[in-house]
Structure 1
Amino acid sequence: MEKILKYFLTAVIMVTLSFLLSCHNGKRDISEESGDDNSLTGTDDTTAFSEIVITKEQFESSGMKVGSPMPAMFRQTVHANGYIFAAPSGWVKISTMIPGRVRQINFSVGDYVEKGQILFTLESNEIILLQMEYVEAFYQLNSLKASYERQKALSEEQIASQKDFINAESDYRSLMSKVEGLRIRLKMINIDPQKVEQGIIIPLATISSPIHGVAIKQDLVLGQFVEPQATVMELVDVDQLRLNIHVFEKDLKVMATGQQVLYYDPDDMNRIFEATLSHIGKSIDQDTRTVLCIARLIPADRSHFVNGQFVETEIITCQRESSAIPEQALIKDEDRYYVLILVGEDNTHYIFRKMPVSIGVIQQGYAEVLDKGLKKVLTEGSYNLSTQD
């Protein structure tokens, strides 16, 4: 009996041990199962992998979209203020070389002027006296010329003294220089010296345009007395408008001629124009700490601007193509960015997972993605889901 009891107890113990061992082997290793998910990014940040489940009906009604990063151009730019100004050869200030009273005005502000057209006329005693002085000197010169040639011939034959010849030559060349100077002064006020030599005295001086362009200033009225050197009109050749850019000295190291410049009127930012950087200044303005740079405009764009107009500019110093997603696809949490990735679906639901993403430049509504292999990103509607997270 005692032997039988011993065998019975042994059998009970063996059965119990077998049962306990079978229960232990049947347990699931949760850490091993979840380890596959963490291996996707190699991070222990379990909060970054929170999942959001929505119905397909919600997805459609909210206008959500899923996509992959697409190639986009990203630019590094220098922002600077600029002004539209004509080149020095295309901007002229009109003044007179002789005093006089305004007799006639032919153009007003905004009028287009061809090169050589008469802008206005002056009348004065000085104009008449200049012509009289010229004609008197001109005829006197003929007399001195004859005397000079006679003294020269006598000197060569050693009949006249050398001193008489030198005096005659001096008088002749001195008056010749005076006549030439008076002739130039007459031409400067558009009076033909040949007519004056014929005894025709012209009472008016005409002031002509040295360039073709548009009158941007006109300070004349009929009967006004004009002093010499006073600026009374200004003309600008719109074909010579260019962009003057004031760049801070710290930005000069990334700039080079030939770079593309985008510029626009701050009051009309929807219209962006292009120019090409042609000159970089070599002197710093001590008041503003800026350097004057010049950009060449596209000829067809010049008609949209006026001389002296203020614009804002973006100088493109570098540009590259990179993968990008819409900026609205990003979810910012403190100093990190996240996106929602589609990880699964069934007949009625979508499953999204919140994943960290490395972002480069953000420009014009697109974000540069530095991570490789990113796909199935919720590109529209991520904000609505992030607020539910």
Structure 2
Amino acid sequence: MKKFIHTILIKRLIVAALCITSFSLLLSGCKQKEANMEVQEAVAEDERFVTLTKEQAQNIGIETGTIENRVLSGAISVSGMLDVPPQNMVNMTAPFGGFLRSTSLLQGMHIAKGQSIAVIENPEYIQLQQDFLDTKAQAEFLTAENQRQQELAKENVNSQKVLQKSIADLTSMKARNNGLRAKLKMLNIDPDKLDSEAIRSTIELRSPINGYVTQVNSAVGSFVSQTDVMFRIVDTDHLHTELIAFERDIPKIKIGQTIRFTLANESTERTAKVYLIGREISADRTVRIHGHIDKDDRELIPGMYLKAMIETGGQSLPTLPENAIVNHEDKNFIFIKDAGNENSFEMIEIGTGLRQNGFVEVDMPSDRSAKNVIVVLKGAYNLLSKMKNVE
């Protein structure tokens, strides 16, 4: 029995020893892992620094300075096209339809306001003129009849009913005559000069504006309805820019700002002014910007595509020269001088913004301040090259 108890005690002691050994090994492994992490962090920290000797610093020609505030003009990149206001574009149609008997229009021709551009023929024009002359004659007769009935009414010869009917007939006939008069004016026929000897089956279409012919859609001899567009005439004297800006940029755009634009396949820069800002956001989250061109150019054509920059005004921003910023692995960095060592420099990642005249807006990390920081202005790429060679 004692031997059995002795055996059990020995087994328990062996198990306890094994547990203590395993715990010691585990604790040792954790400490080793923590030590390795500290080493890695130290190495990563060291990788952000580069140290030069005095001779190296002189050979590279390093120049330092501070981050300074400068006034940069913001600009928003947009695209669009040239367009004309609605009143400067006319679609020519035939009132009441008809056959196109003659026209000399060709695309690109310049047309003066009031110039005859086509002759339209329709038998209905004859009936319209006849009806006008007929109602005109009847109105004159009813006017005389109404005057006679009024005289008889004064002498109580006729009844009031007869007088009222005379007035109603005259009013109705004048309404018909005035309606036909309006239709004749739509056909460019002067009602006051129309008589039975001047009735005709053709009318002349005249241009209501000065401009250029941009479309010719009908041939001589074809029948055109009153909704068919035969010609399009555009006045290009008041072209404007119709730009498309993204929703995020709208708060920066103000009426009166300068627009600088160039046409496709052209290097000449032209200017305009923001005149109207749209009040509706489209499905693709864009807004229309209407600009008036500063100098009219008859060579410009509606529909031309353009690229433009809208100048949004100047603002004071922290900046550095472009040469002070290095790009590595699609990120932007600068080198700042280590306070403890004159020839040691730390590479830190930054954000950038506006660029103008060789200077770039700088956005420092949240844990860094732009004040009192000594930045490498010249020789930054040499430091980057040395740092990577050392690695």
Q: State whether TM-score is above 0.5.
A: yes
The residue identity in structure 1 corresponding to 2:152 is: L
Instruction: Pick from 356, 360, 365 the counterpart of residue 367 of structure 1.
Output: 360
Match of 1:337 among 310, 333, 339: 333
1:190 counterpart (185, 188, 194): 188
SS at match of 2:125: helix
| Structure 1 position 237, deviation (Å) | 1.4
Q: Does 1:327 align with 2:325?
A: no
Deviation track 1:191-224 (CA, whole Å, cap 9, x = no partner) reads 1223323631233211111111111111121111
Q: Which residue of 2 aligns with 1:232?
A: 230
Relative distance call for 1:205 and 1:75 in structure 2 (3 A) is same
User: Match for residue 17 of structure 1?
Assistant: none
Task: Report the Cα offset of residue 167 of structure 1.
Answer: 1.1
Q: Contact 2:91–2:229 at 8 Å: present in 1 too? A: yes
Question: What TM-score results when the alignment is normalised by the length of structure 2?
Answer: 0.70
- Aligned equivalent of 1:292: 288
Question: Against the structure 1 CA distance between its residues 178 and 48, is the aligned structure 2 distance closer, same or farther, given a 3 Å change threshold?
Answer: farther
Measured in 1, the distance between the counterparts of 2:196 and 2:242 equals 51
CA distance in 2, matches of 1:167, 1:217: 54
**Residue 179 of structure 1 aligns to a residue in which SS?**
helix
How many Å apart are 1:105 and its aligned residue?
0.9
Corresponding residue SS for 2:113: coil
Report the secondary structure of 1:187's partner residue.
helix
Change (3 A) 1:284 1:256: same
Aligned residue number for residue 271 of structure 2: 274
Aligned partner of 1:50 in structure 2 is: 52
Contact 1:70 1:325 in 2 (8 A): yes
Letter in 1 for 2:106: S
Which of 155, 158, 162 is 1:157 aligned to? 155
C-alpha offsets along residues 122-141 of structure 1, whole Å, 9 cap, x if unaligned?
A: 11212222212212222222
Distance 1:93 1:162 in 2: 53
Asked if the contact 2:74/2:354 (under 8 Å) is kept, the reply is no
1:205 aligns with 2:199: no
Q: Which residue is equivalent to 1:20?
A: none
In the TM superposition, 1:112-191 aligns within 5 A as 112-191=110-189
Higher mean displacement: 207-216 or 323-332: 323-332
Structure 2 residue identity aligned to 1:314: M
Tell me the SS of whatever aligns to 2:268.
Answer: strand
CA positional deviation for 1:158: 2.6
Q: Is the 8 A contact 2:63 2:376 kept in 1?
A: no
How large is the RMSD of aligned CA atoms in angstroms? Answer: 3.8
Cα deviations across residues 256-295 of structure 1 (Å, max 9, x unaligned)?
A: 3222233333544x3333222222222233x333333322
In structure 2, C-alpha distance between the alignment counterparts of 1:47 and 1:376, rounded to whole Å: 13
CA contact (8 A) 1:51 1:354 kept: no
Distance 1:46 1:58, change over 3 A: closer
* Unpaired runs of at least 5, structure 2: 1-45, 338-342, 364-369
**Structure 1 residues 53, 337: CA separation in 2 closer, same or farther (over 3 Å shift)?**
farther
Q: Per-residue deviation at 1:77?
A: 3.5
> Where do residues 295-310 of structure 1 align in structure 2 (5 Å cutoff)?
295-300=291-296, 302-303=297-298, 305-310=300-305
Q: Structure 1 counterpart of 2:221, which letter?
A: G
> What secondary structure, in the 3-state scheme, does the structure 1 residue paired with 2:107 have?
coil
1:24 corresponds to which residue?
A: none
Asked whether the equivalents of residues 261 and 271 of structure 2 are also in contact (C-alpha less than 8 Å), the reply is: yes
Can you list the C-alpha shifts for 1:135-191, whole angstroms capped at 9, x where unaligned?
222222211111122112222333221111111111111111111121221121111
Name the structure where strand makes up a greater proportion of residues.
1
> Distance in 1 between the 2:299 and 2:54 partners?
52
Q: In structure 1, list runs of 5 or more residues that go unmatched.
A: 1-43, 342-351
Match of 2:310 among 312, 315, 329: 315
For the 8 Å contact 1:84–1:307, the answer to whether it is kept is yes
Secondary structure of the corresponding residue to residue 299 of structure 1: coil
Which one-letter code corresponds to 1:80 in the other structure? V
Show the counterpart of 1:36: none
Deviates more, 1:221-230 or 1:361-370: 361-370
Alpha-carbon contact 2:336-2:375 (below 8 Å) kept: no
TM-score by length of 1: 0.70
In structure 2, C-alpha distance between the alignment counterparts of 1:318 and 1:279, rounded to whole Å: 17
**Distance (Å, rounded) in 2 between the aligned partners of 1:57 and 1:50:** 10
State the Cα distance separating 1:80 from its structure 2 match.
Answer: 3.4
The answer as to whether partners of 2:72 and 2:317 remain within 8 angstroms in 1 is: yes
Deviation at 1:95, TM superposition (A): 0.9
The answer on whether the counterparts of 1:135 and 1:199 sit within 8 Å (CA) in structure 2 is no
CA distance in 1, matches of 2:47, 2:319: 24
1:236-275 alignment runs, 5 A limit = 236-268=234-266, 270-275=267-272
Aligned to 1:101, which of 92, 99, 102?
A: 99
- 5 Å matches for 1:61-72? none
Shift of 1:97: 0.9
Question: 1:92 and 1:51, CA in 2 relative to 1: closer, same or farther beyond 3 A?
Answer: farther
Distance (whole Å) between structure 1 residues aligned to residue 333 and residue 167 of structure 2: 94
In terms of mean alpha carbon deviation, does 49-58 or 215-224 score higher? 49-58
